[in-house]
Structure 1
Amino acid sequence: MSWIESVIVYAIALAEIFCGLVINGFITVTKLMDWWEGRKLKPFDKIFLSLGLSRILFMALIIFNIINRFFSLNFYDINVLNWIFNAVYLFLDFSSLWFAMWLCVLYYIKVVIFKNTLLIRIKLKIPELVRYMILSSLFVSSLSGIVFAYNYKWTLDVMIPPKYMEMNTSLDKQMAYLIPSYFLGTFLPFLLVSASTSFLVEVIFVHVRRLSNSVTSFTTPSMDAHLSAIRSVIMIEVMTILNFIVSVLIRFDFHDTCNKGILFLFAVFYHVAHSVALIAGNAKLKKATLKILHYFKKCGTARKPQVNAGVDTITTQQTKK
């Protein structure tokens, strides 16, 4: 890329990172305040907190990458540092995908009415299972990240041009480890998210049909809420599919055929847009967002009378003169 394209990419990336830090910081602080006030977090809140923290650290790591490129520090020329970066980068990326997957699965379990006794028991034991969900996600993400990073001989920072790679049998040996670790870290949560969102949309559609047959007006508040939920779920599914495609291109485009700047921007944008969609679909976070917006709006309206009062005073003095 030329220096103009690089400046544009970095400017957009920094704007995305700033939004990502604010949004995921808002999620994290809100859940920590809930924990501080109630001394106990619900299953959704625990996973939201884990997701917010993982994405904040992921954004911080991207800032470090930008500093490394901008000042030409060349940290990734050292094999040990490059391995550590790849492992941490993959761990944060994989863990955020797993936490997002658990949110989709829990939403589906919460909405669906099960008739099977085993599924009902699982649904009742979700508060006890959340701890194991989080720990298993961290374990699988760390294991997949370490295995992938150990067998991946290049940096995962897509904005750094790849070095010459010998296409020989060693690549086949590496792929034997890269593909299974990638399956556990990215492809498996992608499949579970896709299945959960598909089933969830189907369940909501069935409920919407029942409501449309039982009410005279299709624009009732209950109907609007269901349609809004469908839009949110579909948007999350579309973003998940696009992110999966981008992640495949980032990790397996060995010949550098794709525009790395666009891949980099979308990799950052996904973590921002997905968090926004989760906030829009969560009642607590949505209510907290509306409170903050109302506070800023109130502060803005409180300043206007002071300005108007000053203008009225000047006008009065001019009239007297």
Structure 2
Amino acid sequence: MSWAERPVVYSLALFEIFCGLLVNGFITVAKLVDWWEGKKLKPFDKIFFSLGLSRLFYMFFFIFNIVNRIFNLNFYQICFLNWMLNTVYLFLDFSSLWFAMWLCVLYFIKVAIFKNTFLIRMKLRIPELVLYMIQSSLLISLVSGFVFAYNFEGTLDIMNPPKNAETNTSVNKQIMYLVPSYFFGHFFPFILVSLSSSFLVEHIFVHVKRLSSNVTSFTTTSMDAHLSAIRSVIMIEVMTIFNFIVTILLRFDFQDFCNQGVLFLFTVSYPVLHSMALIVANANLKKSAHKILHHLRNVVQQDQCVPKVK
């Protein structure tokens, strides 16, 4: 990335990070308020809180990287700090992907109608399993991030990806450690999200077709609600695929084909746009967001109506 591009890229990145802090901070605070008010958190609420918190720290990590680059602090030049920072970065990245995966999988299990006994029992035991899902996601993300960072000879700072990443680490280490750890940290959640999204869209389409042909009371409002759900799932899936492609381009150093600054901006934008899509698709979070926006609009209108005293 040239010196002329850096101010533009960093300015846009800071704007995206600011939006990410607002969006993911809103998710985290909204679930904390529900818990503080004595409301029983549902399985989706617990995973939403975990996702918002992990992405909130993820945004702060981007800020740290920008500050490190602007002021030439060279934290990544110290071997131990480089290893620790790589581990933290991958842990936050992997854990947010796992939490997003669980939201998609659980939503499919909740909506779909199963005839398989195992899936029916799993559907009924979701409240009991959600804590194990969160704990296992954190453990897998930590172990995968640790193994990858420990065996990777370079920096994972996405604003300064290493040149010729293939040659920085031996082929044996890549096959034995890097590929398996990145598979469980990133590829496996991506596969499950893609499968869940595909099955969910297919299930909703079949459900709509059956209702429209057999149920006379199936209204246009119901049709719009189902189509809105389909659009939300497809939009989230498209963002997930795009993030997967951008991650591959960054990790394997395809800068000859894609601009590094553009890849960096797309990487930062994913946890922001994905969280915004989840808020729009979730009725409770959407309602809370509308209340906040309505309150802010009233405050602004009151300030405008107050006469200025000379």
| Shorter-chain TM-score tier | over 0.9
Alignment pair present for 1:74 and 2:79: no
Q: d(CA) in 1 for partners of 2:164 and 2:90?
A: 23
Question: How far off is 1:165 after superposition?
Answer: 6.5
Paired residues of 2:166 and 2:252 also in contact (CA < 8 A):
no
- With over 3 angstroms needed to count, the CA separation of the structure-2 counterparts of 1:29 and 1:161, relative to structure 1, is closer
Q: Is the 8 A contact 1:28 1:48 kept in 2?
A: yes
1-structure distance, mates of 2:256, 2:71: 23
Structure 1 residue 93 corresponds to structure 2 residue 90 = no
CA-to-aligned-CA distance 1:178-198 (integer Å, 9 cap, x gap): 111111000000000000000
- Which residue identity is paired with 2:293? L
Residues 255, 228 of structure 1: alpha-carbon distance in 2 compared, 3 angstrom cutoff: closer
Residue in structure 1 matched with residue 208 of structure 2 by the alignment: 208
Between Structure 1 and Structure 2, whose CA radius of gyration is higher?
Answer: 1
* CA distance 1:228–1:155, change in 2 (3 Å): same
Deviations 1:30-85 (A, max 9, x none): 00011111253110000000000100111101100000000001110111111001
Partner deviation per Cα, 1:86-121 (whole Å, 9 max, x = no partner): 100000000000000000001001101112222111
Alignment CA distance shift 1:130-1:166 (3 Å): closer
1:98-137 correspondence runs (5 A): 98-137=98-137
1:37 aligns with 2:33: no
Tell me how far apart the structure 1 counterparts of residues 39 and 2 of structure 2 sit (CA, whole Å). Answer: 53
Q: CA RMSD in A?
A: 2.2
The aligned residue for residue 287 of structure 1 is: 287
With the length of structure 1 as denominator, give the TM-score of the two structures: 0.90
1:146-161 correspondence runs (5 A) = 146-160=146-160
Distance 1:2 1:154, change over 3 A: same
State the distance in 2 between where 1:258 and 1:79 align: 29
Distance 1:258 1:151 in 2: 27
Tell me, yes or no, if the aligned pair for 1:154 and 1:163 is still in contact at 8 Å: no
Contact 1:162 1:256 (C-alpha < 8 Å) held by counterparts: no
Q: 1:241 to 1:161 in 2, by over 3 A?
A: closer
Residues matched between the structures, number: 309
**In 1, distance between residues paired with 2:136 and 2:192?**
15
The answer as to whether partners of 2:65 and 2:157 remain within 8 angstroms in 1 is yes
Aligned residue number for residue 184 of structure 2:
184
Structure 1, unpaired ranges of 5+: 311-321
Deviation at 1:161, TM superposition (A): 5.5
After alignment, is 104-113 or 155-164 more displaced? 155-164
* Aligned twin of 1:319: none
2:173 corresponding residue in structure 1: 174
SS at match of 1:38: coil
Q: Which moved more, 1:207-216 or 1:110-119?
A: 207-216
Q: Which blocks of at least 5 consecutive residues in structure 2 are unaligned?
A: none
5 Å-filtered alignment, 1:249-268, equals: 249-253=249-253, 258-268=258-268
CA distance in 1, matches of 2:112, 2:85: 41
Provide the residue aligned with 2:139 in structure 1: 139
Q: Which residue of 2 aligns with 1:22?
A: 22
The structure-2 alpha-carbon separation of the partners of 1:55 and 1:190, relative to structure 1 and needing over 3 Å to count, comes to same
Change (3 A) 1:264 1:166: closer
